[in-house]
Amino acid sequence: MSDDQNGAGPVDRNDARRELFGLRLDALTRPEAVDRCLRAVKDGERLEVGVLNAAKVVWLRRDGRLRECLNSCGLLLADGQSVVWASRMLRRPLPERVAGIDLFQDLLAQAASRRIPVYLLGARSAVVDRAVEEALRRYPGLVFAGYRDGYFADHQAGPIADEIRRSGAQLLFLGMSSPKKEEFCARYAARTGAAVVHGVGGSIDILAGLTRRAPERWQRLGLEWLYRTVQEPRRMGPRYLTTNLAFLGIVAQEVLRDLGAGLVRRGRGRRRPEPG
């Protein structure tokens, strides 16, 4: 899925960014995002990949450190369909949703065909073991430089990064919850030596078969949150109700702010020059 294969030229990141919620998101399609990661591996770059959904937009309002971590990412994508819809309402449209799990799976497939060594860091030990077994079954030829669970103390993070560097991994996937994965990425991505560091959250659980992903129709309608709520109503219901309502409020504020700014600009444009 390289530029040569799909006939498209390299994407100019400076021309493909959108300012949303105080962040700079990359306006890339899913194939373009994959190509961007593969170019980083090929050229020996360092690329931290972050993703944004409605919950993170809400958390940003009270977590300045999370905002800093996301803004430090070399590639920041809209993981939630609600973020794509908001971008269109705010007239800074993103082309499509690039879900973290989709990018994760695409990169695993590319790694298998190109023999790029990968490392999984996250989930519980038994879960990551199952995820590795399933990945090897799905993607013949996949090379694991290493893997381990994501339950470690802060003082262990540095030695773990050193372990990843020694493994020779070029693709590092962080299956930890926010903001732990964003903080690990911001502090230790360079130390790991990996070309691409991608925070995949609960994708390792899905790969292992521990949780089920919503059907494609639910995904297209932006209803994955509802599917998760049906699966785990007591745990996920209150969380999604709270964050979704807060997200709608934030988007409404942004829309009103843009409308107000537009009215001010039009008002200035209509002012007549004073007679000399």
98 Cα distance to chain centroid: 8
d(CA 84, CA 99): 11
CB-based contacts of 191, cutoff 8 Å, min separation 6: 158, 161, 162, 165
d(CA 188, CA 131): 23
pLDDT of the residue at 212: 87
**3-class SS of residue 172:** strand
Bond preceding residue 179 cis, omega within 30 of 0:
yes
Q: pLDDT tens, 140-155?
A: 999 999 999 999 999 9
- Hey, what amino acid is at 208? A
Q: Which residue reads 């919620």 in tokens?
A: 21
204-226 mean pLDDT? 87
191 in Cβ contact with 162 (< 8 Å)? yes
Every domain of the chain and the residues it spans? 3-250
Q: Which residue reads 């770059």 in tokens?
A: 45
Tell me the whole-structure pTM to 2 decimals: 0.86
Q: pLDDT tens, 74-106?
A: 999 999 899 999 999 999 999 999 999 999 999
CATH class, range 3-250 = alpha beta
Q: Does residue 19 have a pLDDT over 50?
A: yes
Both tokens of 274, joined, read 């004073």
